[in-house]
Structure formats: structure tokens, C-alpha cells
Amino acid sequence: MIRYALTRLALLVVGLVVASVLIFLALRVLPGDIATLIAGTNSTHAQIAAIRAQLGLDEPLFGQFADWIGGVARGDLGTSLRTGSTVASEIADKAQVTVPLGILALTVAIVFSVPLGVLSAMRRSRPDGTALSVGAQALAAVPVVWAGMMLVVVFAVWLGWLPAQGFPRTGWQTPWLALRALILPAITIGIVEGAMLMRFVRSATLQAVGQDYVRTAAAKGLTRNQALVRHGLPSVGLSIITVLGLQIAGIIVGAVIIEQLFSLPGIGRMLVSDVAARDLPKVQGELLVLTSFVLVVGFVVDLVHRLIDPRQREA
């Protein structure tokens, strides 16, 4: 187990290094730069050049990369060219919106997808089970933006129960207002992600039904559904953990879109505007943090999987 963990950890580190190089290079392919944006459309070439020099954009690429990665190694993600504040503080600020949004969305997704997925598997030959499964298929195909708009029209514009957009300026100092602002966006992402998760839970459950140990249990006198719940579901739970790791990446992508739609000042919206402004040091920092997060989640999921799955532990 320890050897496995160490190998897996080494892989994580290699993954992070490769990611940092890719992020840095990919951004350099983008045309345009922040100096021309700062100077605007009534500027002279000299003015743009002066601003480029002031921001250190005229340094050679390798030097810029070394500066950045050296800073990251010391725990310093750098400074935004545009706003002048540190990347770490801005991410921490915006994470107050995005992290709770992600957790809420994930909760929504799990709460409705797991029971409904199992139910639709257990009742697969009945009309209600089929309806559930078809419904999930349809929901999973719904674009996040459209789902969000429909929810806003009903719950914010018609009923006036929840805010249509924005996040309270007081932030979490007014927890109820902050939470209210996140409910519709979280449900929007949660429904779409949950619908995909539900299809997975259903097929994992069906697979479990066919396993030898479930059949054996059934042969010992349990009904098929009893056998499934007692012996099959633990293994379903295990594979759900793996899928959840992947789902987190989906939720991050969903957040980028949904923060735009609901005007939420989160990491996703910040990322979009920073890319448009070519604030590359900041985009690098943001992408690195997001990538690391996904890689670390993958790492933890693998370890957990290994720990609780007896078959893998022996291997």
C-alpha cells in the first residue's frame, strides 16, 4: 500500500510539472497582450512599449517561466498585471463563492441521483423505471445555460423567491443572503451533473445485479432487490467515488458558465475576464490551482479506492 501511495504521489508531482509547462506555453500562443489593452485605441506605439517594459513583458520567455515557477515553488503565485493585487488573495476571495457553489452543486447531484439511479435500476422493467431513465437521459442533454434560465424565470422572475443574479456585497457576513444567491446556480449545475451521475448509478447497479455474489445471496433466500441492497450497493458506492472525482472537473466547467449567467463573482468568471484581458500571470496561477485541485482529488480518490476495495488491496 505504501509503495503504491508513493508511486501514485510521484505521478501526481510529474503531472503538476507537466501541467505548469503546458499552461505557461499554451497561454503564450494567444495573440494580443495586456499592454495594448491598458493603453487603449488612442495610444502610440511608444506608449505601448513603455507599458510593456514596465510590466516586464519584454523579458525572454524562459526568464518569465523561471520567475513564475520559482515563485510557485516558494508558495508565491505572483501578482496580477491588471489589478496589482496578489493572485493568491484574489483566488482566495473568489473561492468564497466558487467552493460553496461546487459543494452545493455536488450535494444536489448526489442527493437526487443516487436514490433515483438505484430505483430506476431496480424497477428497470416497469414503466416508472423506464420513465426515470429516459428523464435522466433528457436532463443530461440539457445545456446548463438553458436550465439556469428556466429556473431563473420560474423562481426569481415569476415567484420572486430567490435572487436572479449577483452575490451580496457583504459576502458570508450575511450567510442567509449568500446562501440564497447560490441556490439557483447550484441547482442548475447539480441537475445537469446529477442526471449524468444518475445514469452511471443505474448502470453500476445493473451490473451489480449480475454479479455472482448477488446471485448467491439471492439463491440463499433473499429477494433479488434485498440481495442487491445488502450486497450489491457497497460495490456501487465504490465506483461512484471514482466517478465523483471526474464529476468535480465537470462542476468546475459548469461553474465557469453558470457564474457568467448569474453574475457571480467567482473563480470561473474571474478566469474568463482575465483571459480576455491577457492578464497571463494571473490566468497561470488560476489554472494551476484548478489543475492541481483536480489532480489532487484524483490522487485521493485512487488512494481511498485502494484502501476500501479488498480486491485491489491484495493485488
Partner 1 sequence: MPRRAPVLAAAALLAAAALALTGCTGGASAPSTSSAAADPNATVNVRLVLEPGNLDIRQTAGAALDQILIDNVYQGLVSRTPEQKIVPALASDWSVSTDGLTYTFTLRQGVTFDDGQQLTPEDVVWSLQTRKDTAAWSDSARLANVSSIAAEGQKITLTLSQPDSSLLWNLTGRAGIILKKDDTVDYKTKANGTGPFILTSWKQGDSITFQRNDSYWGTKAKAKEIVWDYIPDNQAALNGALAGELDVVTGFDATLKQQIEANGDFSLKLGSATDKFVLAMNQKSGPLADKRVRQAIRQAIDHDAIVKAVGSGVPLYGPIPKTDPGYEDLSKVAPYNPEAAKKLLTDAGEKDLTLTLTMPSFYGTTIPQLLVSDLNKVGVTLKVNSVDFSTWLQDVYTNKDYQLSLVDHAEARDFENWADPTYYFTYDNAKVQDLFKKSLAATSDAQASDLLTQAARIVSEDMAADWLYNWNSVVAVGTDVSGMPTDNVNARIDAAELAKSKG
Size of the site for partner 1 (CB under 8 A): 53
Q: How far is the CB of 40 from partner 1 (least distance, A)?
A: 3
68 or 167: CB nearest partner 1: 167
**Residues ≥6 apart with Cβ < 8 Å to 86:** 76, 77, 78, 79, 80
Q: How far is the CB of 93 from partner 1 (least distance, A)?
A: 8
Q: How far is the CB of 275 from partner 1 (least distance, A)?
A: 8
- If one asks whether residue 122 binds partner 1 (CB under 8 A), the answer comes out as no
Backbone φ and ψ of 86, nearest 5°:
-75, 150
- If one asks whether residue 278 binds partner 1 (CB under 8 A), the answer comes out as yes
Site for partner 1 in 206-235 (CB under 8 A): none
Q: Is 176 exposed, middle or buried (0-12, 13-18, 19+ CB in 10 A)?
A: exposed
Which candidate, 236, 285, 291, 251, places its Cα nearest to that of 115? Answer: 236
232 or 285: CB nearest partner 1: 285
The Cα angle at residue 294 between residues 277 and 19, in degrees rounded to 5: 60
**Per-residue cell: 306:** 485502494
How far apart, in whole angstroms, are the C-alpha atoms of residue 244 and residue 68? 32
How far apart, in whole angstroms, are the C-alpha atoms of residue 60 and residue 70? 16
- How many alpha carbons lie under 13 Å from residue 27 in its C-beta half-sphere? 26
Instruction: Tell me 80's DSSP state.
Output: -
- Convert residues 33-52 into a mask of x (bound to partner 1 by CB under 8 A) and - (unbound): xx-xxxxxxxxxxxxx-xx-
- If one asks whether residue 30 binds partner 1 (CB under 8 A), the answer comes out as yes
Q: How far is the CB of 112 from partner 1 (least distance, A)?
A: 25
- Convert residues 131-170 into a mask of x (bound to partner 1 by CB under 8 A) and - (unbound): ------------------x--xx--xx--x--xxxxx-x-
- If one asks whether residue 276 binds partner 1 (CB under 8 A), the answer comes out as yes
- If one asks whether residue 263 binds partner 1 (CB under 8 A), the answer comes out as yes
Q: What type of residue sits at position 233?
A: L
- If one asks whether residue 179 binds partner 1 (CB under 8 A), the answer comes out as no
124 or 180: CB nearest partner 1: 180
User: Mapping DSSP to helix (H, G, I), strand (E, B) and coil, where does residue 79 land?
Assistant: strand
Per CB under 8 A, the list member of 94, 199, 202, 231 interacting with partner 1 is 94
Site for partner 1 in 57-86 (CB under 8 A): 82-85
- If one asks whether residue 125 binds partner 1 (CB under 8 A), the answer comes out as no
> Which among 222-230, 245-253, 266-274, 305-313 is the span making contact with partner 1, rule CB under 8 A?
266-274
How far apart, in whole angstroms, are the C-alpha atoms of residue 280 and residue 174? 34
**Nearest 10 degrees: Cα torsion 192, 194, 195, 198:** 170
**Per-residue cell: 271:** 478566469
Chain residues that interact with partner 1, rule: CB under 8 A: 30-34, 36-48, 50-51, 54, 82-85, 90, 93-94, 149, 152-153, 156-157, 160, 163-167, 169, 260-263, 265-266, 269-270, 273, 276-279
